Chain A
Amino acid sequence: MTIPLDSAAKLLGLLASGELTARQATQASLDRIAATDPEVGAFTFVNTEAALAAADSIDQRRRDGQPLGALAGVPIAVKDVLCTTDMPTTCSSRMLEKHMSPYDATVVARLRAADAVIVGKTNMDEFAMGASTETSAFGKTTNPWNPSLTPGGSSGGAAACVAAGDVPLSLGSDTGGSIRQPAAFCGITGLKPTYGRVSRYGLIAFASSLDQVGPMAFDAVDCATLLNAIAGVDASDSTSLPVETPDFTAGLDRIEGELRIGIVKHHLEAEGLDPEVRQAVDDAIEVFRDAGAKIVEVELPHSDYWVPTYYVIAPSEASSNLSRYDGAHYGHRSPVAASEAGDRGPLVATYCRSRGEAFGAEVKRRIMIGMYALSAGYGDKYYVKALQVRRLIRQDFDSAFQNVDLLLGPVTPTPPFAMGEKIDDPLQMYLCDLFTVGANLAGIPALSMPGGLTSNNLPIGIQLQAPPLQEAKLLQAAAAFQRATDWHTKRPL
């Protein structure tokens, strides 16, 4: 029998009925990884032994009639930005190349509690900084649709391993679009939840006020199942929201009430928006109109400031969050530093050398930007100003959601781009975030789902955004779209 690694829902059905064991599902996933990963390079670590042991334990407990978690026996991959006790946690950086975390991230602990089988850690842009997974210190991940293209980033590995059919589910993290953009490039569904909906404890920080962990899968239903397992308040994360977690899988078969969908005309007419992407958005609008939704034009007056605001706030927080990697306590310590201490003294030499050796170019660039933006004399001009603009951006969304339930638009300005195409042009790379960073700045939930294919047979993503805590609405709309279309069923090759 073919093991359906492209659907957690199907796997759960087979596992529950006893037609399939967790070991078989896990072994199938491991075999698939062995077959695809030499080319795709989605994984930084595959935890073969532990995954099989976990699967066996689940099978045993099922045989014993013991209660099992909601994801019992489903193979899952987690982005290497999430702390795990049984696998290295590297953030795809030389700095943490050998880092074994002494604790599990809350989301990882919740996956284990749900009896998901964690098969490995996925590749990413170093410290989640990038839009192509080319800044990983451990090699690039390729797009399963075409190995000459990037899978997007920074959760490129998390998106590619699903697209390659290695696992039905993965966890990514999204600071400025890092779940949604690779989901769009790899033709899968990805959700960035409301800021605070999912615990950040154990998510290695890039920009703390923007980061959020979220589910990646082929369709909205599986995303909902995974979100159920990881969402909820966490006493270890002060910013996690003390709200109830609804059952996100409930009511996915219908849309409650009249759906009003907002379109930001300014975005659809943006310079640099690829015509094929634009066409996919127009087609998606029609799909919703046909399903009875009301389409409303709305304004987000400060959207031109999204990218500049983001590129002040995110590097500022990053420069602070990455200070801890100084060669003294954990991570890479330069062996050369001691011998060349010179005038700076051994301590400063250790800091400079260790950071100089272990951080990649993009991480250094952002640390420098952040240091500058926060430094005396510039803090008010850049950082404080950016915080003020951020408030205006939030107000824009608040106003827009007075009139509509959801916003619909593109995820990315272009279809997947080629490896190496933008890596030497940071500004071009930063523009990949044009449509996605708004949701992070405003803290609202946003989803990317497959909405078409280019003439070259490459995936195009459609973005839906909702008011805070309205993930259920997003997933309902995506599920409705996926009932009406078959883009999410398209596979590479």
Chain B
Amino acid sequence: MLSVDQPYEIVIGLEVHVQLRTTTKLFCRCATQFGAPPNTNVCPVCLGMPGALPVINEHAVQLALQTGLALGSTIPPMTKWDRKQYFYPDLPKGYQISQFDLPICDGGHLTIADPADESQTRTIRLIRAHLEEDAGKSMHDEANGRADSRIDLNRCGTPLLEIVSQPDMRSAAEAKAFLTELKLLLTYLDVSDCEMQEGSLRVDANVNLKIEKAGDTIATPIVEIKNMNSFRAVERAIAHEAQRQYHEWEETGLTIKDRTKRTFGWDDAAERTVPQREKEEAADYRYLPDPDLLPICLSVETVEATRVALAEFPAVARQRLQSDYEIKAYDADVIVNQGRGVVEYFEAVAKGSGDARRASSWIQQDVLRTMKEQGKGIADFAVSADTLAELLGQVSAGKLDNARARDVFQHLLEKRGSVAEAIKALGIESVDAGEIESLCQELLDANPQVVEDVRGGKMQAIGSLIGQAKKKNPNVNPKQFREICLQLIQSAG
């Protein structure tokens, strides 16, 4: 859609590198653990030592398969390994073991909420997903005029799944929505922890523009923005790059036919995309089927068994929460987008309390807010699902009002323990009906105007007495108080 202030359409394709959640590397038994001292999680195989040979980690293949199935990819009966050859100090063998023409996952798609209209969805098609090993990391120390480069090869051989989309996205917001939904899916499947700050999810974006001019559509040259590791960076980089390309086109008039793809990086501090050193010609990776590894043949049985055993997808969970618990689409969405842990928490609270809507509302307000304040995940949350279920059950049964329940919740957050203990510690006692009745009578007698109003049909007039009642006895249940007052007024009438 073209508008006056944005006289172009952005075309975006993403390449997402996901680190798979294996304990060992793709072709050896070294640990994939993050943050180990440099060059400690290494062996002859991942160092590419002369004579060493790779052996496939079948768990990585399984995780890739799960991901492909969840993304609706076709799983070919045979997939193979190729060497992608280039010289780089992070790459000890001089080639990366990857998949070229026969990737493990072919095609597929991901459906996202349309950022332009939340009630609509968009389907982003995928080209492929393939397995490959990660390279190492160079650290350059240029302080004090030094030009030291140090290489940490711990990351060499870490299993990556590269998911490549079609250029189907039309805005930075769509790119972000795609990444958010993809990350959510991957964490639901438990195939990756998607820790972006640890590099478990890295994004390259291919961006160009379609500009309408005098009835013609002109495409600008494609730029690949490499290695972004936050959604914010992706969003901003794309937005910036679109502007930059438009200005460049205005100045040079160069189109996609005039220029091959260029590689840019994202400078977060300067908030701009910057060209990386350009190769004079397109890289020639001299792909070669890796003779050290056998092709992988996945049987129909294996694929089907994996499909059957797949964890629930977020999209399915959203539907299910709506139908099983009769909560609104918006509420289901909020809960599901918090991850599988929150969904499980919600379901336990809903079932345990017998009041799904109350559970939904408490979790969205009190639980999520507290989690955000504390910066904690649901797994570390102080109030267990069973405890919250018990608390909300008491609210539903009329034993506690919402305000007192929040006091109990706050107490549980700070002191943990059981609901009963919290109630005891807070001095909350259930007030017997006789006591409430005399309190009602006392207040009604003192406020004849209220009695008058209620008789005149203004039921809410009782509300003004509740505050007074609570002052006299904080354990008074407002609901009960209201009911008894009404009964007294009616019986007196």
Which of A114-122, A373-381, A453-461 forms part of the interface with chain B?
Answer: A373-381
Q: Identify which of residues 266-310 in chain A touch chain B, using a CB-to-CB cut-off of 8 Å.
A: none
Known: A320-B286, A323-B87. A101 touches B93 (CB 8 A): no
- Distance from A219 Cβ to chain B, minimum over Cβ atoms (Å): 29
Q: Are B83 and A320 in contact (CB-based, < 8 A)? A: yes
Which residues of chain A come closer than 8 Å to B53, judged between CB atoms?
A: 200-201, 236-238
Q: Are A376 and B284 in contact (CB-based, < 8 A)? A: yes
Size of the chain B interface, CB-CB below 8 angstroms: 30
Q: How far is the CA of A383 from the CA of B85 in the complex (A)?
A: 15
Q: Are B50 and A383 in contact (CB-based, < 8 A)? A: no
Instruction: Identify the closest chain B residue to A237 (Cβ).
Output: B53
Contact among A102, A209, A351, A375 with B44 in the assembled complex (CB-CB below 8 Å)? A102
- Tell yes or no: B474 within 8 A of A by CB: no
Q: How far is the CA of A346 from the CA of B146 in the complex (A)?
A: 13
Query: Interface code A154-187, partner B: CB below 8 Å = 1, 0 otherwise?
Result: 0000000000000000000000000000000000
Which of B183-191, B291-299, B413-421 forms part of the interface with chain A?
Answer: B291-299
- Tell yes or no: A3 within 8 A of B by CB: no
Q: Are B51 and A205 in contact (CB-based, < 8 A)? A: yes
Q: How far is the CA of A330 from the CA of B94 in the complex (A)?
A: 12
- Tell yes or no: A137 within 8 A of B by CB: no
Q: Are B52 and A202 in contact (CB-based, < 8 A)? A: yes
Q: Are A317 and B288 in contact (CB-based, < 8 A)? A: yes
- Tell yes or no: B199 within 8 A of A by CB: no
Known: A326-B87, A374-B288, A376-B284. A102 touches B55 (CB 8 A): no
Total number of residue pairs linking A and B with CB closer than 8 Å: 102
Query: Interface code A207-231, partner B: CB below 8 Å = 1, 0 otherwise?
Result: 1110000000000000000000000
Known: A323-B93, A324-B93. A204 touches B50 (CB 8 A): yes
Query: Interface code B361-389, partner A: CB below 8 Å = 1, 0 otherwise?
Result: 00000000000000000000000000000
Known: A83-B51, A101-B50, A329-B47. A323 touches B94 (CB 8 A): yes
Known: A316-B288, A326-B87, A379-B286. A105 touches B51 (CB 8 A): yes
Which residues of chain B come closer than 8 Å to A383, judged between CB atoms?
A: 288
- Tell yes or no: A444 within 8 A of B by CB: no
Q: Are B92 and A324 in contact (CB-based, < 8 A)? A: yes
Q: How far is the CA of A3 from the CA of B376 in the complex (A)?
A: 77
- Tell yes or no: B459 within 8 A of A by CB: no
Which residues of chain A come closer than 8 Å to B48, judged between CB atoms?
A: 324, 329
> Main SS of chain B's interface residues?
loop
Which residues of chain A come closer than 8 Å to B56, judged between CB atoms?
A: 238
Contact among A202, A346, A351, A376 with B87 in the assembled complex (CB-CB below 8 Å)? A351
Q: Are B286 and A375 in contact (CB-based, < 8 A)? A: yes
> Main SS of chain A's interface residues?
loop
Which residues of chain A come closer than 8 Å to B55, judged between CB atoms?
A: 235-238
Query: Interface code A361-382, partner B: CB below 8 Å = 1, 0 otherwise?
Result: 0000000000100111001000
Instruction: Identify the closest chain A residue to B293 (Cβ).
Output: A238
Which residues of chain B come closer than 8 Å to A323, judged between CB atoms?
A: 85, 87, 93-95
Q: Which of A201, A202, A317, A320 has the most CB of B within 10 A?
A: A320
Known: A238-B293, A320-B83, A328-B89. A203 touches B51 (CB 8 A): yes
Query: Interface code B47-67, partner A: CB below 8 Å = 1, 0 otherwise?
Result: 111111111100000000000
Q: How far is the CA of A238 from the CA of B286 in the complex (A)?
A: 23
Q: Are B85 and A320 in contact (CB-based, < 8 A)? A: yes
- Tell yes or no: B147 within 8 A of A by CB: yes
- Tell yes or no: B287 within 8 A of A by CB: yes
- Distance from B203 Cβ to chain A, minimum over Cβ atoms (Å): 26
Q: Are A99 and B50 in contact (CB-based, < 8 A)? A: yes
Q: Are A328 and B151 in contact (CB-based, < 8 A)? A: yes
Question: What residues of chain A have their CB less than 8 Å away from a CB belonging to chain B?
Answer: 82-83, 89, 91, 96, 99, 101-103, 105, 200-205, 207-209, 235-239, 316-317, 319-320, 322-326, 328-331, 346-347, 351, 371, 374-376, 379, 383
**A83-B51, A320-B85 known, 20 other contacts, Cβ within 8 Å:** A83-B50, A102-B44, A103-B49, A103-B51, A103-B52, A200-B53, A205-B50, A236-B55, A238-B292, A239-B293, A317-B291, A320-B95, A323-B85, A323-B94, A324-B48, A324-B50, A325-B94, A330-B49, A330-B50, A374-B85
In the assembled complex, 18 residue pairs joining A and B whose CB atoms fall closer than 8 Å, in A order, are A83-B50, A96-B50, A101-B44, A101-B50, A102-B44, A103-B51, A205-B50, A205-B292, A208-B292, A323-B85, A323-B87, A323-B93, A323-B95, A324-B92, A324-B94, A326-B94, A331-B50, A374-B85
